[in-house]
Amino acid sequence: MDLKALLTISVADKVFANPKRIVLLQQIQACGSISQGAKLAGMSYKTAWDSVKDMNTRLSEPVVLSEKGGKGGGGAKLTAFGARLLQMYALTDQMQDMVLAALQDQAIPMNSLLDVMGHLSLKTSARNQLSGTILSLDNSVANLSSDHDNLNVNLEVELTSGLRLNACVTQSSCARLALVVGKPVLLLFKAPAVSISLNKEHGEHQNQLQGRVHEIHSNSQTTEVSFAINKGLNNGSATQMIYASIDTVLANELKLVVGGEYYAVFSSSQTIVACMN
């Protein structure tokens, strides 16, 4: 489906900016004239002039500066605020398009804007991107020392699938990111940081997620494996993927097969935490 959302900005319940007015401002910016901008925007000069006058008087800053015609002719240009209005509108339009795309893709969780941006916009070298919510922060270790910049805070995060895992950040990073219980976060870690095990291992700071092998790609040195992680507490939630990159000799020893169930294992210290403030 070709879905489209139209953004309207109101001030005191009266339209300030809508798609037609934005097109007018874009044309004025391009040609430097309200009359010519009106023609290019497909509206009458009176409608264009009334629209500009309304926008210029509704807020504390005008959006268009104009000069009356004379020997050299009149002209118009956007103010700095008017230019920022166009930039804001374009950015909001991009976010709306991302959310509409996510609506049509059941694999993308929609618990927060961070979920949508992480899947459709954020590109990193870390193939693993898991979204979730902070359940708890444990900084009890931090109280044992006064060197706060090098102390760690352990996070327990519930994924959108219902599964839980741990992440570890420094106390200073925790403060800079304003991490608190209930905050949505995105967990990033590289495929080489993930090992594969037939059985659940022991380790306080090891994350172990059981999953079913989805794909296997190998050469003589490296084997890349993608896992479909088992759904947890939330029925109907999208299946999340984990990617591992291991030595091919080890992969052969594990006798990895598509459809087989294994554990994806990675340390909490290998996980990068991202969030929106």
Q: What is the pLDDT of residues 182-198, one digit of tens each?
A: 998 989 999 999 999 99
pLDDT for 196 equals: 94
pLDDT along the chain (277 residues), means of 10: 82 93 96 94 95 95 82 75 94 82 73 66 75 84 44 89 89 90 91 91 79 93 90 52 93 92 92 83
pLDDT for 235 equals: 42
pLDDT for 236 equals: 46
9-103 and 113-274 share one fold: no
Q: Report strand pairing: 241-247 vs 184-189.
A: unpaired
Task: Label residue 192 exposed, middle or buried (CB < 10 Å: 0-12, 13-18, 19+).
Answer: middle
Q: What is the pLDDT of residues 104-121, one digit of tens each?
A: 777 676 766 666 766 666
> 265, 201 in Cβ contact below 8 A?
yes
Task: Label residue 225 exposed, middle or buried (CB < 10 Å: 0-12, 13-18, 19+).
Answer: buried
The whole-angstrom separation of Cα 227 and Cα 230 is 9
The domain spans of the chain are: 9-103, 113-274
pLDDT for 237 equals: 52
Q: Which CATH number fits domain 9-103: 1.50.10.10, 1.10.10.10, 3.30.720.120, 1.10.3720.10?
A: 1.10.10.10
Sign of CA dihedral 5, 9, 15, 21: negative
Tell me which amino acid residue 170 is: T
Closest CA to 79 of 95, 93, 66: 66
Q: Report strand pairing: 14-17 vs 9-11.
A: antiparallel
Overall pTM > 0.85: no
Centre a 10 Å sphere on the Cβ of residue 269 and count the other Cβ atoms it contains: 14
pLDDT for 140 equals: 53
Topology (CATH) of 113-274? OB fold (Dihydrolipoamide Acetyltransferase, E2P) (2.40.50)
